């Protein structure tokens, strides 16, 4: 019951994501399906001018259309205090999209491009007990902005939970030249666009209206089709496959809801099994009560009362256990749940939970025990023994089947995670770090920084790049090459790197060569990854000519695929271009001969000489890439914990049931021993019945487990194989555990002196 309560809290939390927003049912995100390479790809990024077109052409359908930045990290400094937080820059209307609760200052929308709103937690970090209204904050050691207001930290179960500051899109334009230049660029797919529908508008109807709004302007060969993804589906349907929303989040909700129900079902089965197994001990009591005039309804009432009392005290203990286990559960689930004692809905749910558990657990035992005939029970004649035995066997088979499915599912979740982790990444993640230039003090100082880092002995090599190696920051289209089909269009990931990048990341050049700084022509050279070469149709792309925006590039190298995004998806076509210096990211390969902490300390010392006040915010590539497994690891941790609980409950029931069976057959065991039966014969006598039930359970559970796991794995483009050895191993493990559980209790009974077992009194 304690586990069911915790899972229930988690389910409610998952189903209420973003519902804090008063406009929850009217907010959506503009997305588009693009058709190329015979597949449909769904993208979130759009060009800035699309926002204005939607406002102009569909004024009656939208309350607001808001072009936004992505939630990138920025450093915020006031005096000697600095924090690095994520935030958003949005066009007017963005505050209602986020539903910011202003607790100090004034709510300005549109905002002054020299002002910023900060969260309550950032306010405390920078200004202590003061709000900071009117104070000046240094943004990325580049811009000074005024604190116009403080908003309440966004809820943990919000898509925007990491937003800790908010600024106008005009302010965002002042942070980088390329943003300002994107105002009229229909090819610049780099911005999410949020919308708030008009009161009587419908998402599907408006999606049909705007479907061709981008295509009519760009005439893009990929035929982009716009649609609105409602806020209500962001969490439960976060991914798309073949242009359709995939309920990844919903699958997890259903999975853990089912596990919570199964845990409760297993406990209920145990109670029913043990109650009916004890029926022989209560048979004479029931016979006497009926003989002196007790009605069947009175007996049913008595047994239900006993069950409800047991459930009541169990519930009290379960609530105490839930409170004690909640921190551990939050740690496993990566959540911050609390028990809402003051919420009437929670209290009503607990009362309903109590009655459902009582009825489910007590119904069969009450009806079964109250049906005993007094004459038969007082004569010692067994009542419905065969029917009772069949029912118990069905319940035990069901228990084993559930346990087998849970074990197999948990194992395959872990196998999928290991499959992703063991995949060849195409570069060395260990000892590789990167620093985003949050301060302009680090710009234009490539050579002195590199020389100082190498001289420290903590660094093997340093390079700069236009994006991090763990994410796809920039995609570009419009490449031309020999033999290209004019009807096809593909977005290539593009990453600009300095020539030292290859030695820093230790990538593998399969054909041709790496970039060379001394080669003046390499500024118009590119390196393709395997995926890009295959898409272009080149077996050997070396010396091929690629044209992009009126510039001719020559392919000088073919690199092994670098896994930059999801480890469970195929690597997308990537083009690497060379820049002799510059780029917002500094990549550093640490010296493996030096301890990590010492090397990081030396790197920080060197970087402080170039940016004394700037925040470095060093990231380890291996750790950042590990975050890509968070959803799978969260599922694995929860599933394994709950599965272990379910298995424990199952074998607890088997242990109790085998104890009663051994006790009931005490005299039979004594007679068998007197006739020469060995301990092995006695143990196998009791165990064999359970082994038959395990065999039936395996036959029923294996195909169900295969279907469910195959269905779960189908959402991954790359997936682990389902090995038959997993099924065989689980079956053997269950057999061994059952032998140990049943055998231990049977052996204890078998070791009793037969004389003691055969005594009448």
pLDDT tens for 465-498 read 988 888 887 777 778 899 887 766 677 889 999 9
Q: How far is CA 488 from CA 33, 36, 241, 477, in A?
A: 15, 6, 20, 11
Interacting residues of 735 by C-beta distance below 8 A, sequence separation 6+: 691, 694
Q: Output the pLDDT for position 591.
A: 93
Q: What is the pLDDT of residue 346?
A: 92
Give me the pLDDT at residue 715, please: 79
Asked whether the predicted pLDDT for residue 613 surpasses 80, the reply is: no
Question: What percentage of the chain has pLDDT greater than the value 90?
Answer: 39
Question: Span 548-575, mean pLDDT?
Answer: 90
Residues 6+ apart with CB under 8 A from 363: none
Average pLDDT over residues 193-199: 95
Residue 85, pLDDT score: 92
Across the range 539-561, mean pLDDT stands at 91
Q: In this predicted model, what pLDDT tens digit does every residue of 354-364 receive, in sequence order?
A: 998 888 887 77
* DSSP code string of 675-724: TT--HHHHHHHHHHHHHHHHHHHHHHHHHHHHHHHHHHHTT-SS-----H
Average pLDDT value for residue range 99-103: 93
Q: Based on the number of CB atoms within 10 Å of its own CB, is 706 exposed (0-12), middle (13-18) or buried (19 or more)?
A: middle
Two tokens at 471? 């994410």
Predicted local confidence at residue 92, as pLDDT:
93
pLDDT in tens, 647-674: 888 888 777 777 777 666 777 777 887 7
DSSP secondary structure code for residue 370 in this structure = T
The pLDDT assigned to 400 comes to 84
Mean pLDDT is lowest, of 136-150, 277-291, 307-321, for 277-291
Compute the distance between CA of residue 311 and CA of residue 255 in angstroms, rounded to an integer: 26
In which band, very low, low, confident or very high, does the pLDDT at 120 lie, cut at 50, 70 and 90? very high
Strands (E), 549-655: 551-559, 574-578, 585-590, 618-620
For residues 501-506, give the mean pLDDT: 93
The pair of structure tokens assigned to 188 is: 């610049």
User: Are 2 and 318 in contact, with CB atoms under 8 Å apart?
Assistant: yes
**Which residues, 6 or more positions from 278, have their beta carbon under 8 angstroms from its beta carbon?**
660
CB atoms near residue 178 (< 10 Å): 10
Q: What is the pLDDT of residue 335?
A: 81
pLDDT level of residue 576 (50, 70, 90 thresholds): very high
pLDDT at 380 over 90: no
Structure tokens at 500: 């030292």
Distance between CA atoms of residues 335 and 235, nearest Å: 15
DSSP conformation letters of 236-279: TS-EEETTEEE-HHHHHHHHHHHHHHHHHHHHHHHHHHHHHHTH
Q: In the predicted model, what is the mean pLDDT of residues 98-113?
A: 88
Contact 496, 478 (CB under 8 A): no
The tokens describing 641, both together, are: 């914990």
Is the pLDDT at 319 greater than 90, yes or no? yes
- For residue 365, pLDDT beyond 80: no
Q: Where are the alpha helices (DSSP H) in 37-194?
A: 49-57, 94-98, 120-127, 169-173, 177-180
Q: What is the DSSP letter of 46?
A: B
Mean pLDDT of all residues belonging to the chain: 86
In this predicted structure, the answer to whether residue 385 has a pLDDT above a threshold of 60 is: no
Alpha carbon separation from 480 to 217, 477, 491, 546, 574 (Å, rounded): 21, 9, 12, 6, 14
- In this prediction, residue 290 carries a pLDDT of 66
Averaged over 278-304, what is the pLDDT? 70
* pLDDT at residue 205, as a whole number: 94
HSE at residue 459, side-chain half, CA atoms within 13 A, is 29
Any idea which of 160-174, 215-229, 449-463, 651-665 has the lowest mean pLDDT? Answer: 651-665
What are the backbone angles phi and psi of residue 65, rounded to the nearest 5°?
Answer: -125, 120
CA distance 94 to 96: 5
Question: What's the whole-number mean pLDDT along residues 601-620?
Answer: 86
CA distance 566 to 624: 12
Calculate mean pLDDT across residues 669-680. Answer: 79
pLDDT of 759 above 80: no
Preceding amide of 110 cis, omega within 30: yes
């Amino acid at each position: 019951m304690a586990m069911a309560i915790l899972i229930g809290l988690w389910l409610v939390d998952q189903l209420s994501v973003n519902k804090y927003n008063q406009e929850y049912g009217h907010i959506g995100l503009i997305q588009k399906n693009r058709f190329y390479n015979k597949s449909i790809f769904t993208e979130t990024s759009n060009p800035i001018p699309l926002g204005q077109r939607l406002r102009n052409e569909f004024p009656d359908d939208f309350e607001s259309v808001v072009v936004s930045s992505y939630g990138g990290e920025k450093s915020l400094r006031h005096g000697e205090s600095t924090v690095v937080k994520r935030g958003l820059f949005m066009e007017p209307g963005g505050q209602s999209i986020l539903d910011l609760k202003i607790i100090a200052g004034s709510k300005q929308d549109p905002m002054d491009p020299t002002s910023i709103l900060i969260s309550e937690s950032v306010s405390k970090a920078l200004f202590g007990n003061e709000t900071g209204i009117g104070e000046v904050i240094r943004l990325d050691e580049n811009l000074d902005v005024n604190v116009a207001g403080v908003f309440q930290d966004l809820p943990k179960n919000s898509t925007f939970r990491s937003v800790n500051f908010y600024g106008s899109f005009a302010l965002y334009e002042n942070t980088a030249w390329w943003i300002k230049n994107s105002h009229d660029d229909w090819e610049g797919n780099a911005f999410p666009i949020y919308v708030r529908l008009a009161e009587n508008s419908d998402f599907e109807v408006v999606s049909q209206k705007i479907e061709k709004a981008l295509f009519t302007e760009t005439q893009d060969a990929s035929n982009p089709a716009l649609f609105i993804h409602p806020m209500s589906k962001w969490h439960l349907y976060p991914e798309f496959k073949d242009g359709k929303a995939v309920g990844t989040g919903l699958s997890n909700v259903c999975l853990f809801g089912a596990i919570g129900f199964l845990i409760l079902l297993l406990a209920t089965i145990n109670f029913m099994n043990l109650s009916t197994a004890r029926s022989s001990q209560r048979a004479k009591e029931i016979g006497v009560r009926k003989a002196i005039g007790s009605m069947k309804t009175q007996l049913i009432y008595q047994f239900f009362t006993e069950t409800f009392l047991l459930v009541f005290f169990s519930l009290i203990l379960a609530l105490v256990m839930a409170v004690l286990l909640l921190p551990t559960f939050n740690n496993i689930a990566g959540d911050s749940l609390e028990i809402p004692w003051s919420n009437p809905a929670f209290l009503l749910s607990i009362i309903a939970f109590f009655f459902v558990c009582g009825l489910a657990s007590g119904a069969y035992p009450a009806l079964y025990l109250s049906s005993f005939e007094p004459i038969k029970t007082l004569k010692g004649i067994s009542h419905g023994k065969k029917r009772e035995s069949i029912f118990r066997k069905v319940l035990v088979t069901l228990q084993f089947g559930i346990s087998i499915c849970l074990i197999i599912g948990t194992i395959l979740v872990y196998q999928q995670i290991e499959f992703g982790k063991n995949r060849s990444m195409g570069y060395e993640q260990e000892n590789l770090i990167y620093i985003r230039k949050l301060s302009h003090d680090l710009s234009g100082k490539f050579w002195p920084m590199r020389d100082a880092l190498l001289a420290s002995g903590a660094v093997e090599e340093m390079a700069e790049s236009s994006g991090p190696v763990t994410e796809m920051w920039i995609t570009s289209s419009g490449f031309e090459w020999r033999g290209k089909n004019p009807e096809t269009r593909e977005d290539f990931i593009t990453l600009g790197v300095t020539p030292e990048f290859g030695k820093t990341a230790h990538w593998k050049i399969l054909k041709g060569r790496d970039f060379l700084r001394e080669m003046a022509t390499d500024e118009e050279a590119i390196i393709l990854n395997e995926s890009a070469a295959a898409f272009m149709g080149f077996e050997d792309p070396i010396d091929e000519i690629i044209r992009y925006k009126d510039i001719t590039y020559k392919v000088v190298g073919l690199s092994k695929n670098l896994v930059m995004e999801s480890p469970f998806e195929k690597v997308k076509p990537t083009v690497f271009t060379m820049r002799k210096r510059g780029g917002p990211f500094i990549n550093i390969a640490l010296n493996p001969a030096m301890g990590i902490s010492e090397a990081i300390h030396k790197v920080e010392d060197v970087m402080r000489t170039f940016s004394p006040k700037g925040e470095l915010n060093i990231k380890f590539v291996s750790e950042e890439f590990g975050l890509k497994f968070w959803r799978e690891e969260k599922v694995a941790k929860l599933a394994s914990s709950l599965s272990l609980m379910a298995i424990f409950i199952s074998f607890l029931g088997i242990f109790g049931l085998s104890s009663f069976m051994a006790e009931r057959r005490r005299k039979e065991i004594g007679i068998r021993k007197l006739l020469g039966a060995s301990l092995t014969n006695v143990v196998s006598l009791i165990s064999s019945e359970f082994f038959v039930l395990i065999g039936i359970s395996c036959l029923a559970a294996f195909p169900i487990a295969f279907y469910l796991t195959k269905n779960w794995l189908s959402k991954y483009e790359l997936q682990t194989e389902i090995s038959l050895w997993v099924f065989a191993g689980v079956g053997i493990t269950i057999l061994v555990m059952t032998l140990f559980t049943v055998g231990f209790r049977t052996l204890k009974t078998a070791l009793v002196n037969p004389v003691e077992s055969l005594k009448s009194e």
